[in-house]
């Protein structure tokens, strides 16, 4: 929600200027719409969780899911003066999963990493996010599992399994 408000305020400032930069306003409004839709998806999934609805499984591009979360967290990264380094694997297979649940897991990891760096000198705060360690394996039952390991300069998170 903070990202939506930041973009809305920026758009209003640009419009109020002597010579409004309509391209920047248009980009900010585009981000507001995108983030508003994402927030709506999160609310819908939360409602479904309370109703005990089954997870909405769909084919997912892990890199895209990670990038969407990182876009949402940009204001928080900037506010806490955390620099971001990413390394995305090429040609990852799509996985079947619930996008909102996966985004929540990644978001929690990123927010935890940002909070863990609050005691670190500002010039040393760097978050490393990589999909290079994402692997696919098959159990004897044929059920697929995907494991992702997020790497942080300061905080090494435990291996996270989903799906």
Name which of 74, 75, 76, 72 is nearest 100 in CA terms: 72
Angstrom distance (rounded) from CA 21 to CA 71: 22
Q: How far is CA 152 from the centre of its chain?
A: 15
In order of 13, 27, 59, 83, 92, the CA distances from 24 in angstroms are 11, 5, 33, 23, 33
Is pTM beyond 0.75? Reply is: no
**Spatial contact of 140 and 106, defined as CB atoms under 8 Å apart:** no
The tens-digit pLDDT sequence of the chain (163 residues) is: 666 777 777 778 778 878 877 888 888 888 888 888 777 776 776 676 566 666 778 899 999 999 988 988 888 898 889 999 898 988 888 888 888 888 888 888 888 888 888 888 888 888 888 887 655 444 444 433 333 333 332 223 332 333 3
Q: Which two tokens stand for residue 44?
A: 């819908």
């Amino acid at each position: 929600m903070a990202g939506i408000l930041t973009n809305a305020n920026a758009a209003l400032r640009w419009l109020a200027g002597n010579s409004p930069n309509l391209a920047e306003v248009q980009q900010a409004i585009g981000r507001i719409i995108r983030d508003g839709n994402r927030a709506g998806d999160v609310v819908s999934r939360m409602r479904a969780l309370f109703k005990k609805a089954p997870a909405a499984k769909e084919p997912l591009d892990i890199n895209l899911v990670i990038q969407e979360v990182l876009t949402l967290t940009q204001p928080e990264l900037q506010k806490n003066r955390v620099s971001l380094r990413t390394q995305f694997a090429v040609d990852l297979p799509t996985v079947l999963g619930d996008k909102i649940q996966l985004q929540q897991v990644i978001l929690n990891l990123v927010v935890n990493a940002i909070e863990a760096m609050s005691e670190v000198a500002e010039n040393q705060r760097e978050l490393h996010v990589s999909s290079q360690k994402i692997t696919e394996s098959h159990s004897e039952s044929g059920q697929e599992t995907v494991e992702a390991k997020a790497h942080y300069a300061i905080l090494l998170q435990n291996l996270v399994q989903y799906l």
